[in-house]
C-alpha cells in the first residue's frame, strides 16, 4: 500500500472551521472536534485559536489516536472514546462542536480494516478494533430476518431479503463469509440490477458498517449531548455523507430551533428554542473534482441560543 493511497483529504475543511469559529467566543473559545479522524479539522482549528483557546478531540480509532499523538500543542487533548461521550464534558463549557461523520480515506483504503469491497481483507469494519464484534463474527450467527433488517434499514437496499437469504445459505453450505471480496461477490451474484456506476455491494457494506458501529444511535446521543455542553452562542457544525445521517441531523436541528408549547399545560411557559439554524453548505464543484468522495457531503450549522437546562 503506497502512502498516496493512504492520504486523507478533509472534506469542507476551511468552510467547517470558518463556521465553527463564528461562535461568540471566537479564537479564545473551547472547541470540540468530535470525530478527529486524521486531524485535518483539528490542525486548522489550532492554527486559528489564540493562546487562550482550547481544543478537545474524540475518536474511537486507535490509528486516529496515534495520529493525534503527533500534535505537540498544550491547547490540544484527545480522548479514546466515541463522540457519544461528549456529555461527560462540563455543562455549558464548550463554544463549538464539529462532527465530521465520514470515515477517513486511510480507513477505507486499509484492507485489514475491512471497510471496502475494493480490497481483499478480513470482514471487520469496527472503528475501534479493541472492542465489540466484527461483521464476520456477527454474520456467523445472525438469522435471515436480522440480516434483512440491517441491510434494509441502514443500506436502504431493496434486495435486502435476497442478500440475507444468500448469506445464510452460504454459511450453511460452506461456512460463514469472512472476507470483503467474498461478501462483495455474493452480493453481486444476488443483486442483478443496480444504479449505473455503483458497485452492487455498496449499500450492503454501508449497512454493515453503520450497524456494527451503532453509528446512528451514537450520532443521536452525541447531538443531544451537544446541547448540554454548549454555552450560549456556541456553534454546532455537522458534516454528513448519506441520507440517514443527514435526516437525523436536520430533524434534530429543526426540533430545537422552535419554541415548544405543552398543550396539556395551557398556562405553562413554552420551552424556548435552543438552536438558531445557520444554513447548510455543500462542497464546491472544484472540491468534488479534486476529491470525488466529497460529492455526497452536506454540512449543517446551528448556534446555541439558551443557557443549558
Length of the chain: 309
Same domain, 206 and 228: no
Tell whether 135 and 202 lie within a shared domain: yes
Is 309 part of any domain?
no
In 10 A of CB 9, how many CB atoms? 14
* Same structural domain, 54 and 187: no
What is the crossing angle of helices 202-212 and 144-155, to 10°?
100
At which of 189, 212, 235 does a domain end? 212
Does the predicted model carry a pTM greater than 0.85? yes
Tell whether 64 is covered by a domain: yes
Contact 277, 253 (CB under 8 A): yes
Residue ending a domain, choose from 185, 212, 239: 212
Per-residue pLDDT of the chain (309 residues; tens, 9 = 90+): 333 334 567 899 999 999 999 999 999 999 999 999 999 999 999 999 999 999 999 999 999 999 999 999 999 999 999 999 999 999 999 999 999 998 776 677 677 787 788 888 999 999 988 889 999 999 999 999 999 999 999 999 999 999 999 999 999 999 999 999 999 999 999 997 777 778 899 999 999 999 999 999 999 999 999 999 999 999 999 999 999 999 999 999 999 998 766 666 666 566 578 999 999 999 999 999 999 889 999 999 999 996 544
Please, what is the Cα angle at 34 between 155 and 50, to 5 degrees?
150
Contact 115, 123 (CB under 8 A): no
Residue at 82 is within a domain: yes
Split into its structural domains, the chain has a count of: 2
Residue 74 inside a domain? The answer is yes
Residues 222 and 90 occupy one common structural domain? yes
CATH code of the domain in which 156 resides: 1.10.150.170
SS3 call for 198 = coil
Looking at the structure, tell me whether residues 87 and 228 fall in a common domain: yes
Q: How far is Cα 187 from Cα 185, in angstroms, rounded to an integer?
A: 5
Domain match, 206 and 220 both? no
Cα dist. 146→153, 168, 195 in Å? Answer: 11, 11, 25
Residue 116 in any domain: the answer is no
In a domain, 206, yes or no: yes
Asked if 101 and 177 sit in the same domain, the reply is no
The answer as to whether 6 is a domain residue is: no
The answer to whether position 120 is within a domain reads no
Shared-domain flag, residues 95 and 136: no
Domain that holds residue 36: 13-105+215-304
Domain end (from 212, 233, 251): 212
**Are 136 and 201 contained in the same domain?**
yes
In this structure, the answer to whether residues 193 and 219 fall within a common structural domain is no
Amino acid at each position: 500500500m503506497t502512502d498516496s493511497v493512504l492520504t486523507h483529504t478533509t472534506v469542507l475543511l476551511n468552510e467547517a472551521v470558518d463556521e465553527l469559529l463564528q461562535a461568540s467566543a471566537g479564537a479564545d473559545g473551547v472547541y470540540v472536534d468530535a470525530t478527529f479522524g486524521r486531524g485535518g479539522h483539528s490542525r486548522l482549528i489550532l492554527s486559528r485559536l489564540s493562546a487562550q483557546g482550547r481544543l478537545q478531540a474524540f475518536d474511537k480509532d486507535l490509528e486516529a489516536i496515534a495520529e493525534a499523538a503527533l500534535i505537540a500543542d498544550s491547547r490540544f487533548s484527545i480522548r479514546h472514546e466515541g463522540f457519544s461521550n461528549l456529555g461527560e464534558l462540563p455543562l455549558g463549557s464548550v463554544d463549538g462542536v464539529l462532527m465530521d461523520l465520514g470515515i477517513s480515506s486511510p480507513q477505507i483504503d486499509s484492507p485489514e480494516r475491512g471497510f471496502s469491497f475494493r480490497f481483499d481483507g478480513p470482514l471487520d469494519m469496527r472503528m475501534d478494533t479493541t472492542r465489540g464484534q466484527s461483521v464476520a463474527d456477527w454474520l456467523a450467527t445472525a438469522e435471515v430476518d436480522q440480516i434483512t433488517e440491517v441491510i434494509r434499514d441502514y443500506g436502504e437496499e431493496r434486495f435486502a431479503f435476497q442478500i440475507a437469504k444468500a448469506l445464510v445459505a452460504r454459511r450453511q453450505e460452506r461456512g460463514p463469509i469472512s472476507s470483503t471480496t467474498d461478501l462483495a461477490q455474493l452480493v453481486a451474484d444476488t443483486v442483478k440490477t443496480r444504479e449505473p456506476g455503483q458497485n452492487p455491494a455498496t449499500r450492503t457494506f454501508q449497512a454493515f458498517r453503520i450497524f456494527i458501529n451503532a453509528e446512528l444511535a451514537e450520532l443521536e446521543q452525541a447531538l443531544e449531548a451537544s446541547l448540554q455542553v454548549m454555552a450560549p452562542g456556541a456553534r454546532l457544525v455537522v458534516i454528513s455523507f448519506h441520507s440517514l445521517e443527514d435526516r437525523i441531523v436536520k430533524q434534530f436541528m429543526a426540533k430545537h430551533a422552535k419554541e415548544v408549547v405543552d398543550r396539556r399545560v395551557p398556562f405553562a411557559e413554552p420551552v424556548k428554542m435552543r438552536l438558531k439554524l445557520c444554513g447548510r453548505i455543500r462542497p464546491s464543484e472544484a472540491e468534488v473534482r479534486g476529491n470525488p468522495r466529497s460529492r455526497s457531503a452536506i454540512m449543517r450549522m446551528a448556534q446555541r441560543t439558551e443557557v443549558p437546562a
